[in-house]
Each structure stands twice: as C-alpha cells, then as structure tokens.
Amino acid sequence: MWGCGALLGARTRSRLWREVLVAWGRRWSAAAPYSASAEPSRVRALVYGHHGDPAKVVELKDLELAAVGGSDVHVRMLAAPINPSDINMIQGNYGLLPKLPAVGGNEGVGQVVAVGSSVTGVKPGDWVIPANAGLGTWRTEAVFSEEALIGVPSDIPLQSAATLSVNPCTAYRMLMDFEQLQPGDSVIQNASNSGVGQAVIQIAAALGLRTVNVVRDRPDIQKLTDRLKNLGAEHVLTEEELRKHEMKNFFKDMPQPRLALNCVGGKSSTELLRHLAPGGTMVTYGGMAKQPVIASVSQLIFKDLKLRGFWLSQWKKDHSPAQFKELILTLCSLISRGQLTAPACSEVPLQDYQRALEASMQPFVSSKQILTMC
C-alpha cells in the first residue's frame, strides 16, 4: 500500500485509486441488490470491549454484516485515520463514548456498494463520509443508515476525503465563528503541526489571514518549519522563542492576533494569551499538556480577553445536518482548488493496526496514521 513518501505523486495515486474503485464499484453494484436480499457476510473490524490502552484493548475481529434495509446503505470502507479523539474515546476520557463493545474510528471514507429501496441521497459507487462521530470506521464494510452518511465528490484525493470530517471542519469553524476577521488580520495557534493546525494554516491562507504558528522544539525543527511554510504559514516559532523578550517587537511588523487557537493548555496557552490583541479571543479545542488554562486577572480586566471553547460534536448538535453538509462541501471546494490538502500521513494496512496505534501515540509525530482497508 502506498505511503506518503512513495514515488507516486498524490494526484497520480488518487487517479489510480479512483480507477480501481470505480471498477470495483461497478462490479459490486452489478452483483449486489439495492434492497435487503443479500446473504449476510463477515467483515473485519477493530473492536474494543472495555476502555484502556488502545494498543492493548483493541482487537481485530470478524463481525457479521447486517442485511440492507429500506433506508440503509452498504458501504465498503476505503480509508480511516487515527485521530487523538479516537484514542481518547478508547481510553474512556472523551466527551462522547459509544456503547461497548464498539468499533473504533470516528471518520474515514467509504464507497457505496448497495442501497435500500427508500434511499435517494446516494447510489452505488458514490463516496461517503460519516455525518457524526461514533460511527465506527475502522472496519472493512458496514451497513449504515442513510442519515448517518454524507456524500462527497469522488474526484478529491482519497487521503483528503478520509480526513475531512473532523480536523478541517474544526479549523474552519474556529476561524469563522469567534472573531470577524478580515484579510490581513493575524491568528496565532499552538500545536500547529497537528491535523487541525495544518488545516488552520491552509484555510487561513485561502482567506487572506496571516498566521503565527507555535510548535514544540525538536531535532528536525527546520524540516517541520519548511513544511508548514509550504502549506502557507507566515511564521513558525518554537514555544521557547515565543517566551523571549524580543517577541515584544515581533508584532510591530504585523497586527497583533485577535484570535488564538489553543490545543495544548498550561504554559503554552498562557503565552498565546500574552500576545493577543486587546479584546481578542482564545479558543481552546484540546488539552495536550493535560494542564489547566490560566489567565491573569489583568488580562481579563485590562485587555478584556475572552476565553471560549470549541467542540465540533457540540457545533453539530446546535446546527442542522444541512448546515454540516454545506460546511463539508465548502471544504471540498477548497480541496478541489488545491487550497486544502490532507495532513502529512502514513498509510497502514488494517491488519497492521498495532503499529499504527503505537505510532499515533508517540511524541513529535507529524505523520497521521491512516488505516487502509483494500
């Protein structure tokens, strides 16, 4: 299976994937009925029966595939990433926990094999992604209700489709919903090499926003800096550089950020607050340091800084499915125009899931693990 460093370019790989999948889809759509008449078959899935260390509690098991009912869609999964929220969910410390035993994975992309008699939104051969978290995407096949899925264009890169429904959505909403930013305004963020961070850089660039991107120092810092700048980052700083006294002069050449995006907490979030413009907002969407966000009284009183939180699952609860689909299609347009790419990634066959899980929990890993099902 191709890795991100393979000789084939991303567009070439995507084209080959589409050719294979179109042929596969034709074969299945010709062989499989549109309603529930197929014999039950067995699928492979990554299942956990209790919470704990993902490398220990997740197992590759055979599951029986349910028959396709009138409003159901039979989907063959193509690729599904391993996100921090997936790990947290398995560990049992996430805001949304499925009933156990559960299949892991909150996002991914699949191809429709067959549909029930009352399904009108998708057809065999279409690509689909989950409409909500908790669907369980780490499996080879599944039967889902039509309302649990959103159709996406099949001419976008496979990795972009597989990583579309969580991180880019989070990045876009945080950039749009908390401050009325205009082209030329700046945004500061930590964990800038994360999936959300990379999406923020690209979407901000597409919107004409300038970004200050903070990362942890590491041996290959120049390589990471170059990669983020290639995505559109204007400035890349280490946590240590952000704390230096010289940073006072940094914002003489660019406007102070009115928006800060915090995925770390602790001292890192305190530094983001220190550099926010008066009246600015810091949005917290993660807590990698597992330390509280601390804001001084003077920042709240004299700078009138605002502290907010963001969770995509809550945003979906507060908005209609049609609004989420509109968000997805907006992001697909950015992808089609080359303004939004998938994060740096490594494709791992499903049977090698242990390696992928362990790699996803290592520090300083900038490559997202994507499970491939074919």
Query: What are phi and psi for residue 110, nearest 5 degrees?
Result: -135, 170
Which CATH number covers residue 197? 3.40.50.720
Structure tokens at 102: 């559960």
Same domain for 200 and 126: no
Same domain for 257 and 180: yes
Domain hosting 121: range is: 42-163+342-372
The number of helices, as runs of H, and strands, as runs of E, in the chain is 14, 16
Q: Answer whether residue 28 is part of any domain.
A: no
Longest CA span, the chain: 70
pLDDT digits (tens, 9 = 90+) for 206-265: 999 999 999 999 988 999 999 999 999 999 999 999 999 888 888 888 899 999 999 999
Q: Answer whether residue 13 is part of any domain.
A: no
Same domain for 139 and 77: yes
Which CATH number covers residue 137? 3.90.180.10
Q: Answer whether residue 21 is part of any domain.
A: no
pLDDT digits (tens, 9 = 90+) for 107-164: 999 999 999 999 999 999 999 999 999 999 999 999 999 999 999 999 999 999 999 9
285 is a catalytic site residue:
no
How many folded domains does the chain comprise?
2
Q: Answer whether residue 354 is part of any domain.
A: yes
Whole-model pTM over 0.85: yes
Q: Answer whether residue 245 is part of any domain.
A: yes
Please identify which of the residues 34, 48, 94, 353 carries the catalytic annotation: 94
Q: Answer whether residue 2 is part of any domain.
A: no
Same domain for 182 and 155: no
Q: Answer whether residue 9 is part of any domain.
A: no
Torsion angle, CA of 292/214/55/346, rounded to 10 degrees? 160
pLDDT digits (tens, 9 = 90+) for 315-325: 999 999 999 99
Same domain for 309 and 200: yes
Same domain for 158 and 104: yes
Query: What are phi and psi for residue 275, nearest 5 degrees?
Result: -100, 0
Q: Using the 3D structure, point to which of 314, 334, 356 is the last residue of a domain.
A: 314
Same domain for 297 and 237: yes
